[in-house]
Protein backbone atom coordinates (compact mmCIF):
# COMPACT_ATOMS: atom_id res chain seq x y z
CA UNK A 1 0.00 0.00 0.00
CA UNK A 2 1.02 3.59 -0.35
CA UNK A 3 -0.42 6.69 1.25
CA UNK A 4 -2.75 8.28 -1.27
CA UNK A 5 -4.39 11.00 0.79
CA UNK A 6 -4.26 12.73 4.18
CA UNK A 7 -7.27 14.89 5.07
CA UNK A 8 -7.60 17.21 8.05
CA UNK A 9 -10.95 18.10 9.63
CA UNK A 10 -11.01 21.07 11.99
CA UNK A 11 -13.96 20.80 14.38
CA UNK A 12 -15.03 23.41 16.89
CA UNK A 13 -17.74 24.23 19.36
CA UNK A 14 -19.71 27.30 18.21
CA UNK A 15 -18.16 29.28 21.06
CA UNK A 16 -14.74 28.73 22.65
CA UNK A 17 -14.61 29.65 26.34
CA UNK A 18 -11.46 31.09 27.92
CA UNK A 19 -11.03 28.12 30.29
CA UNK A 20 -8.59 25.23 30.51
CA UNK A 21 -10.90 22.83 28.70
CA UNK A 22 -9.13 21.27 25.74
CA UNK A 23 -12.24 19.53 24.42
CA UNK A 24 -13.67 22.65 22.80
CA UNK A 25 -12.15 21.97 19.42
CA UNK A 26 -10.45 19.04 17.68
CA UNK A 27 -8.37 18.22 14.65
CA UNK A 28 -9.18 14.87 13.05
CA UNK A 29 -6.95 13.25 10.44
CA UNK A 30 -8.04 10.67 7.89
CA UNK A 31 -5.36 8.74 6.01
CA UNK A 32 -6.17 6.73 2.90
CA UNK A 33 -4.02 4.01 1.36
CA UNK A 34 -5.75 2.24 -1.50
CA UNK A 35 -9.05 0.99 -0.16
CA UNK A 36 -7.94 1.29 3.46
CA UNK A 37 -8.49 4.20 5.78
CA UNK A 38 -7.44 5.14 9.31
CA UNK A 39 -8.37 7.98 11.64
CA UNK A 40 -6.31 9.93 14.15
CA UNK A 41 -6.51 13.12 16.18
CA UNK A 42 -3.98 15.86 16.91
CA UNK A 43 -4.24 17.39 20.40
CA UNK A 44 -3.09 20.70 18.97
CA UNK A 45 -4.07 24.08 17.58
CA UNK A 46 -5.99 22.98 14.46
CA UNK A 47 -5.23 25.82 12.04
CA UNK A 48 -1.51 25.85 12.86
CA UNK A 49 -1.25 22.08 12.56
CA UNK A 50 -2.96 22.17 9.16
CA UNK A 51 -0.58 24.93 8.06
CA UNK A 52 2.41 22.81 9.00
CA UNK A 53 1.09 20.03 6.74
CA UNK A 54 0.65 22.23 3.68
CA UNK A 55 3.12 25.13 4.00
CA UNK A 56 5.70 25.75 1.28
CA UNK A 57 9.19 24.32 1.88
CA UNK A 58 11.65 26.76 3.49
CA UNK A 59 14.73 24.55 3.05
CA UNK A 60 15.72 20.87 3.18
CA UNK A 61 15.12 20.59 6.94
CA UNK A 62 12.03 22.79 7.01
CA UNK A 63 9.61 21.00 4.72
CA UNK A 64 5.87 20.68 5.13
CA UNK A 65 4.88 17.46 6.89
CA UNK A 66 3.04 16.44 3.73
CA UNK A 67 6.33 15.95 1.88
CA UNK A 68 7.33 13.10 4.21
CA UNK A 69 3.95 11.38 4.22
CA UNK A 70 2.12 11.48 0.89
CA UNK A 71 3.14 8.69 -1.46
CA UNK A 72 5.04 6.75 1.22
CA UNK A 73 4.73 2.95 1.36
CA UNK A 74 2.71 1.74 4.33
CA UNK A 75 2.87 -2.03 4.70
CA UNK A 76 3.16 -2.28 8.47
CA UNK A 77 4.41 -0.85 11.76
CA UNK A 78 8.00 -0.43 10.57
CA UNK A 79 6.78 1.91 7.85
CA UNK A 80 4.90 4.00 10.41
CA UNK A 81 8.07 4.43 12.44
CA UNK A 82 10.10 5.16 9.32
CA UNK A 83 7.64 7.86 8.26
CA UNK A 84 7.87 9.44 11.73
CA UNK A 85 11.65 9.54 11.49
CA UNK A 86 11.39 11.10 8.04
CA UNK A 87 9.01 13.82 9.26
CA UNK A 88 11.31 14.66 12.18
CA UNK A 89 14.34 14.92 9.89
CA UNK A 90 12.72 16.82 7.03
CA UNK A 91 10.71 19.12 9.32
CA UNK A 92 13.49 19.58 11.90
CA UNK A 93 13.04 23.38 11.92
CA UNK A 94 9.25 23.33 11.70
CA UNK A 95 8.29 23.44 15.36
CA UNK A 96 4.62 22.56 14.92
CA UNK A 97 5.47 19.39 12.95
CA UNK A 98 5.45 17.08 16.00
CA UNK A 99 1.85 17.98 16.77
CA UNK A 100 0.79 17.46 13.16
CA UNK A 101 2.65 14.17 12.90
CA UNK A 102 0.92 12.91 16.06
CA UNK A 103 -2.51 12.64 14.44
CA UNK A 104 -1.06 11.14 11.27
CA UNK A 105 0.87 8.49 13.19
CA UNK A 106 -2.28 7.54 15.12
CA UNK A 107 -4.25 7.30 11.87
CA UNK A 108 -1.55 5.07 10.34
CA UNK A 109 -1.71 2.65 13.29
CA UNK A 110 -5.50 2.61 12.94
CA UNK A 111 -5.19 1.96 9.21
CA UNK A 112 -2.75 -0.93 9.55
CA UNK A 113 -4.80 -2.40 12.42
CA UNK A 114 -7.98 -2.32 10.38
CA UNK A 115 -6.28 -3.77 7.35
CA UNK A 116 -4.95 -6.68 9.43
CA UNK A 117 -8.04 -7.02 11.62
CA UNK A 118 -6.02 -6.47 14.78
CA UNK A 119 -6.30 -3.91 17.57
CA UNK A 120 -3.37 -1.49 17.67
CA UNK A 121 -2.06 -2.78 21.02
CA UNK A 122 -1.55 -6.18 19.43
CA UNK A 123 0.45 -4.64 16.58
CA UNK A 124 2.56 -3.04 19.30
CA UNK A 125 3.36 -6.48 20.68
CA UNK A 126 0.88 -6.82 23.54
CA UNK A 127 -1.23 -9.94 23.52
CA UNK A 128 -4.12 -8.51 25.50
CA UNK A 129 -5.21 -5.25 27.11
CA UNK A 130 -5.39 -4.96 30.88
CA UNK A 131 -8.43 -3.08 32.21
CA UNK A 132 -7.50 0.33 33.61
CA UNK A 133 -8.94 2.19 36.56
CA UNK A 134 -10.08 5.48 35.03
CA UNK A 135 -9.65 8.65 36.98
CA UNK A 136 -12.36 11.24 36.62
CA UNK A 137 -10.54 14.20 35.12
CA UNK A 138 -12.11 17.62 35.36
CA UNK A 139 -11.51 21.30 36.06
CA UNK A 140 -11.87 22.80 39.53
CA UNK A 141 -15.17 24.52 40.17
CA UNK A 142 -15.17 28.31 40.22
CA UNK A 143 -15.65 28.14 44.00
CA UNK A 144 -14.83 25.50 46.62
CA UNK A 145 -18.58 24.86 46.91
CA UNK A 146 -18.73 24.00 43.20
CA UNK A 147 -15.68 21.78 43.51
CA UNK A 148 -17.32 20.00 46.47
CA UNK A 149 -20.38 19.32 44.31
CA UNK A 150 -18.27 18.12 41.38
CA UNK A 151 -16.40 15.71 43.63
CA UNK A 152 -19.67 14.37 45.09
CA UNK A 153 -20.96 13.86 41.57
CA UNK A 154 -18.05 11.72 40.41
CA UNK A 155 -18.14 9.72 43.63
CA UNK A 156 -21.84 9.09 43.05
CA UNK A 157 -21.00 7.95 39.53
CA UNK A 158 -18.70 5.32 41.01
CA UNK A 159 -15.27 6.81 40.32
CA UNK A 160 -12.67 5.89 42.92
CA UNK A 161 -10.02 8.24 41.59
CA UNK A 162 -10.56 11.88 40.64
CA UNK A 163 -8.46 14.79 39.48
CA UNK A 164 -9.17 18.49 39.72
CA UNK A 165 -7.12 21.10 37.98
CA UNK A 166 -6.68 24.49 36.32
CA UNK A 167 -9.38 27.08 37.05
CA UNK A 168 -8.24 29.45 39.79
CA UNK A 169 -5.70 27.01 41.30
CA UNK A 170 -2.37 28.77 41.84
CA UNK A 171 -3.81 32.13 40.82
CA UNK A 172 -5.09 33.25 44.23
CA UNK A 173 -3.71 32.91 47.74
CA UNK A 174 -2.37 29.77 49.29
CA UNK A 175 -5.53 29.66 51.41
CA UNK A 176 -7.77 29.89 48.33
CA UNK A 177 -5.95 26.91 46.85
CA UNK A 178 -6.18 24.97 50.11
CA UNK A 179 -9.92 25.60 50.26
CA UNK A 180 -10.29 24.11 46.80
CA UNK A 181 -8.27 21.01 47.66
CA UNK A 182 -10.11 20.44 50.94
CA UNK A 183 -13.43 20.78 49.10
CA UNK A 184 -12.35 18.16 46.59
CA UNK A 185 -11.30 15.79 49.36
CA UNK A 186 -14.56 16.27 51.24
CA UNK A 187 -16.69 15.63 48.17
CA UNK A 188 -14.69 12.60 47.11
CA UNK A 189 -14.89 10.99 50.56
CA UNK A 190 -12.13 9.57 52.70
CA UNK A 191 -11.46 6.53 50.57
CA UNK A 192 -11.22 8.24 47.18
CA UNK A 193 -7.86 8.79 45.50
CA UNK A 194 -7.34 12.51 44.90
CA UNK A 195 -5.08 14.06 42.26
CA UNK A 196 -4.42 17.77 41.76
CA UNK A 197 -3.32 19.49 38.53
CA UNK A 198 -1.62 22.89 38.74
CA UNK A 199 -1.47 23.41 34.96
CA UNK A 200 2.16 24.71 34.97
CA UNK A 201 1.05 27.81 36.87
CA UNK A 202 4.31 28.28 38.80
CA UNK A 203 6.55 27.93 35.70
CA UNK A 204 9.73 27.02 37.65
CA UNK A 205 9.20 28.74 41.01
CA UNK A 206 9.79 26.03 43.62
CA UNK A 207 9.25 28.29 46.60
CA UNK A 208 5.74 29.33 45.65
CA UNK A 209 4.80 25.79 44.68
CA UNK A 210 6.10 24.41 48.00
CA UNK A 211 3.66 26.60 49.91
CA UNK A 212 0.85 24.35 48.62
CA UNK A 213 2.34 21.14 50.00
CA UNK A 214 0.78 21.34 53.48
CA UNK A 215 -2.77 21.29 52.12
CA UNK A 216 -1.88 18.55 49.66
CA UNK A 217 -0.50 16.42 52.48
CA UNK A 218 -3.45 17.12 54.74
CA UNK A 219 -5.79 15.97 51.96
CA UNK A 220 -3.66 12.92 51.12
CA UNK A 221 -3.21 13.97 47.52
CA UNK A 222 -1.46 11.22 45.55
CA UNK A 223 0.00 13.40 42.83
CA UNK A 224 0.56 17.05 42.11
CA UNK A 225 0.52 17.44 38.36
CA UNK A 226 2.45 20.04 36.38
CA UNK A 227 3.50 22.47 39.08
CA UNK A 228 6.00 23.63 36.42
CA UNK A 229 6.48 23.72 32.67
CA UNK A 230 7.82 20.54 31.14
CA UNK A 231 11.42 21.65 30.68
CA UNK A 232 11.94 22.89 34.25
CA UNK A 233 13.66 19.69 35.37
CA UNK A 234 15.61 21.21 38.25
CA UNK A 235 12.46 22.77 39.69
CA UNK A 236 10.67 19.41 39.51
CA UNK A 237 13.56 17.72 41.29
CA UNK A 238 13.71 20.34 44.03
CA UNK A 239 9.99 20.21 44.69
CA UNK A 240 9.98 16.41 44.65
CA UNK A 241 12.59 16.46 47.39
CA UNK A 242 10.26 18.54 49.54
CA UNK A 243 7.01 16.81 48.63
CA UNK A 244 7.36 13.55 50.57
CA UNK A 245 4.36 11.31 49.93
CA UNK A 246 2.94 13.65 47.29
CA UNK A 247 4.50 12.49 44.04
CA UNK A 248 4.90 14.75 41.03
CA UNK A 249 3.28 14.08 37.67
CA UNK A 250 3.99 15.77 34.36
CA UNK A 251 4.96 15.39 30.74
CA UNK A 252 1.89 16.27 28.69
CA UNK A 253 3.78 19.17 27.11
CA UNK A 254 6.50 16.87 25.75
CA UNK A 255 6.59 16.80 21.98
CA UNK A 256 9.62 14.54 21.45
CA UNK A 257 10.93 11.26 22.82
CA UNK A 258 14.01 12.92 24.26
CA UNK A 259 12.02 15.59 26.08
CA UNK A 260 10.04 12.87 27.85
CA UNK A 261 13.20 10.86 28.49
CA UNK A 262 14.71 13.85 30.28
CA UNK A 263 11.64 14.24 32.45
CA UNK A 264 11.78 10.54 33.34
CA UNK A 265 15.50 10.67 34.07
CA UNK A 266 15.89 14.09 35.68
CA UNK A 267 12.58 15.38 37.08
CA UNK A 268 12.08 12.77 39.82
CA UNK A 269 8.53 12.14 38.64
CA UNK A 270 6.25 9.51 40.07
CA UNK A 271 4.09 9.62 36.95
CA UNK A 272 4.89 10.49 33.34
CA UNK A 273 1.86 11.69 31.41
CA UNK A 274 2.00 11.41 27.65
CA UNK A 275 -0.47 12.69 25.11
CA UNK A 276 -0.23 10.53 21.99
CA UNK A 277 -1.74 13.47 20.12
CA UNK A 278 1.26 15.68 20.86
CA UNK A 279 4.33 13.52 21.42
CA UNK A 280 4.51 12.29 17.83
CA UNK A 281 1.76 9.68 17.98
CA UNK A 282 1.45 6.13 19.24
CA UNK A 283 4.92 5.18 17.96
CA UNK A 284 6.74 7.62 20.24
CA UNK A 285 4.30 7.13 23.14
CA UNK A 286 5.01 3.39 23.06
CA UNK A 287 8.76 3.97 23.30
CA UNK A 288 8.21 6.19 26.32
CA UNK A 289 5.90 3.63 27.95
CA UNK A 290 8.68 1.06 27.63
CA UNK A 291 11.32 3.46 28.93
CA UNK A 292 9.24 4.55 31.91
CA UNK A 293 8.58 0.94 32.90
CA UNK A 294 12.31 0.22 32.77
CA UNK A 295 12.93 3.28 34.97
CA UNK A 296 10.16 2.58 37.49
CA UNK A 297 8.14 5.69 36.63
CA UNK A 298 4.42 5.05 36.16
CA UNK A 299 3.09 5.82 32.68
CA UNK A 300 -0.31 7.49 32.38
CA UNK A 301 -2.10 8.81 29.32
CA UNK A 302 -2.96 12.47 28.98
CA UNK A 303 -6.35 12.79 27.28
CA UNK A 304 -8.88 15.56 27.53
CA UNK A 305 -10.74 15.27 24.24
CA UNK A 306 -12.62 12.57 22.30
CA UNK A 307 -12.90 8.82 22.80
CA UNK A 308 -10.98 8.34 19.56
CA UNK A 309 -8.09 10.17 21.23
CA UNK A 310 -8.72 8.18 24.41
CA UNK A 311 -8.38 4.86 22.59
CA UNK A 312 -5.21 6.08 20.88
CA UNK A 313 -3.71 7.22 24.16
CA UNK A 314 -4.42 3.90 25.90
CA UNK A 315 -2.87 1.66 23.22
CA UNK A 316 0.79 2.35 24.09
CA UNK A 317 0.46 1.00 27.66
CA UNK A 318 -2.49 -1.35 27.18
CA UNK A 319 -0.92 -4.43 28.75
CA UNK A 320 1.28 -2.80 31.37
CA UNK A 321 0.01 -3.98 34.76
CA UNK A 322 2.07 -1.50 36.81
CA UNK A 323 0.53 1.36 34.84
CA UNK A 324 -2.93 0.70 36.22
CA UNK A 325 -4.81 3.98 36.02
CA UNK A 326 -5.78 6.16 33.10
CA UNK A 327 -7.06 9.66 32.55
CA UNK A 328 -10.74 9.79 31.67
CA UNK A 329 -12.37 13.16 30.92
CA UNK A 330 -15.75 13.28 32.64
CA UNK A 331 -16.92 16.71 31.52
CA UNK A 332 -16.10 16.91 27.84
CA UNK A 333 -17.94 19.34 25.57
CA UNK A 334 -20.61 17.82 23.37
CA UNK A 335 -18.23 18.00 20.39
CA UNK A 336 -15.82 15.55 22.01
CA UNK A 337 -18.67 13.09 22.61
CA UNK A 338 -20.15 13.50 19.15
CA UNK A 339 -16.87 12.67 17.40
CA UNK A 340 -17.60 8.96 17.87
CA UNK A 341 -20.97 7.22 18.14
CA UNK A 342 -19.49 4.53 20.41
CA UNK A 343 -17.78 5.42 23.67
CA UNK A 344 -15.44 3.78 26.15
CA UNK A 345 -17.44 3.49 29.36
CA UNK A 346 -16.30 2.00 32.69
CA UNK A 347 -17.81 -1.40 33.50
CA UNK A 348 -19.89 -2.22 36.62
CA UNK A 349 -16.68 -2.58 38.65
CA UNK A 350 -15.44 0.79 37.50
CA UNK A 351 -12.79 -0.47 35.04
CA UNK A 352 -12.20 0.76 31.51
CA UNK A 353 -11.57 -1.73 28.69
CA UNK A 354 -9.89 -1.03 25.40
CA UNK A 355 -12.07 -2.12 22.48
CA UNK A 356 -11.22 -5.45 20.81
CA UNK A 357 -12.05 -4.19 17.34
CA UNK A 358 -9.38 -3.63 14.71
CA UNK A 359 -7.28 -0.47 14.80
CA UNK A 360 -8.44 1.94 17.48
CA UNK A 361 -11.70 -0.01 17.82
CA UNK A 362 -13.94 2.97 17.22
CA UNK A 363 -14.21 5.50 14.46
CA UNK A 364 -15.52 9.00 13.90
CA UNK A 365 -19.20 9.46 13.18
CA UNK A 366 -19.44 11.55 10.05
CA UNK A 367 -22.97 12.68 10.88
CA UNK A 368 -21.85 13.41 14.42
CA UNK A 369 -19.00 15.69 13.44
CA UNK A 370 -20.61 17.42 10.45
CA UNK A 371 -22.20 20.26 12.48
CA UNK A 372 -18.82 21.16 14.00
CA UNK A 373 -16.79 21.30 10.80
CA UNK A 374 -14.94 24.60 10.38
CA UNK A 375 -14.53 26.06 6.94
CA UNK A 376 -10.85 26.90 6.33
CA UNK A 377 -9.02 28.13 3.27
CA UNK A 378 -5.29 28.79 3.03
CA UNK A 379 -3.99 30.47 -0.11
CA UNK A 380 -0.32 31.20 -0.84
CA UNK A 381 0.95 32.86 -3.99
CA UNK A 382 -2.43 32.53 -5.70
CA UNK A 383 -2.69 28.78 -5.04
CA UNK A 384 -5.07 27.12 -2.59
CA UNK A 385 -2.90 24.96 -0.34
CA UNK A 386 -5.76 23.83 1.88
CA UNK A 387 -9.52 23.91 1.79
CA UNK A 388 -11.70 22.00 4.27
CA UNK A 389 -12.47 18.69 2.57
CA UNK A 390 -15.97 17.30 2.23
CA UNK A 391 -16.91 14.70 4.81
State the nearest-atom distance from the C-beta of 361 to its own copies, in Å: 26
Beta strands of 19-142 (E only): which ranges? 25-33, 36-42, 133-139
Cα–Cα nearest to 37, from 111, 118, 104, 103: 111
- Exposed, middle or buried by CB within 10 Å (0-12, 13-18, 19+), for 293? middle
- The residues, ordered by sequence, that sit 6+ positions from 191 with a Cβ below 8 Å of its Cβ are 160
Contacts (CB under 8 A) with its own copies, residues 131-150: none
Contacts (CB under 8 A) with its own copies, residues 209-268: 229, 231-233, 253, 255-259, 261-262, 266
Torsion of CA 326, 331, 332, 333, to 10 degrees: 180
- Give the contact letters, 168-207, x = binds to its own copies (CB under 8 A), - = no: -------------------------------xx--xx---
Q: How far apart are alpha carbons 69 and 97 in whole angstroms?
A: 12
Closer residue to its own copies in complex, CB, 127/383:
383
Per residue in 232-259, is it b (16+ CB within 10 Å) or e — as a string? Answer: bbebbebbbeebeebbbbbbbbbbebeb
Contacts (CB under 8 A) with its own copies, residues 294-333: none
Residue 78 sits in the site that holds its own copies (CB under 8 A): no
Judged by CB under 8 A, which stretch of 117-125, 239-247, 362-370, 381-389 contacts its own copies? 381-389
**347 phi and psi, to 5 degrees?**
-80, -175
Order of strands across the sheet that contains 5-12: 5-12, 25-33, 36-42
Residue 368 sits in the site that holds its own copies (CB under 8 A): no
Closer residue to its own copies in complex, CB, 65/314:
65
Judged by CB under 8 A, which stretch of 32-40, 124-132, 179-187, 370-378 contacts its own copies? 370-378
Residue 86 sits in the site that holds its own copies (CB under 8 A): no
Closer residue to its own copies in complex, CB, 130/262:
262
State the nearest-atom distance from the C-beta of 237 to its own copies, in Å: 12
From residue 195, how far is each of 154, 177, 340 by CA, in Å?
A: 13, 14, 28
Cα–Cα nearest to 31, from 99, 120, 114, 91: 114
From residue 165, how far is each of 138, 176, 368 by CA, in Å?
A: 7, 14, 29
Task: Report the residue from 145, 157, 211, 380 that binds its own copies according to the rule CB under 8 A.
Answer: 380
Task: Report the residue from 44, 124, 198, 354 that binds its own copies according to the rule CB under 8 A.
Answer: 44
State the nearest-atom distance from the C-beta of 355 to its own copies, in Å: 27
Cα–Cα nearest to 277, from 237, 319, 329: 329
Per residue in 336-361, is it b (16+ CB within 10 Å) or e — as a string? Answer: bebbbeeebebeeeeebbbbebbbbb
- Give the contact letters, 5-34, x = binds to its own copies (CB under 8 A), - = no: -------x---xxxxxxx-xx---------
Count of positions on this chain that bind its own copies (CB under 8 A):
67
Closer residue to its own copies in complex, CB, 255/286:
255
State the nearest-atom distance from the C-beta of 75 to its own copies, in Å: 23
Residues making contact with its own copies (CB under 8 A) = 12, 16-22, 24-25, 43-48, 50-52, 54-62, 85, 88-89, 92-96, 98-99, 166, 199-200, 203-204, 229, 231-233, 253, 255-259, 261-262, 266, 278, 374-382, 385
Amino acid sequence: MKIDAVDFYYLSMPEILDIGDGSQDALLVRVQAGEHIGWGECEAAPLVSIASFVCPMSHSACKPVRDSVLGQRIDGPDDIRRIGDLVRAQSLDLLQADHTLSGIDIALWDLVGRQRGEPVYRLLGDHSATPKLPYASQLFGDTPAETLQKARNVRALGYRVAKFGWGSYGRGTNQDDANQVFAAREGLGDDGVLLIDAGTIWLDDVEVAALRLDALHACRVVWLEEPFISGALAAYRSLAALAGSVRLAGGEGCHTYHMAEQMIDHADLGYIQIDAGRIGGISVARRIAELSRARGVTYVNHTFTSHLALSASLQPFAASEPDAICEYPVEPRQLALDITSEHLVPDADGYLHLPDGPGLGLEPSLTGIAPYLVDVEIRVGGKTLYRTPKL
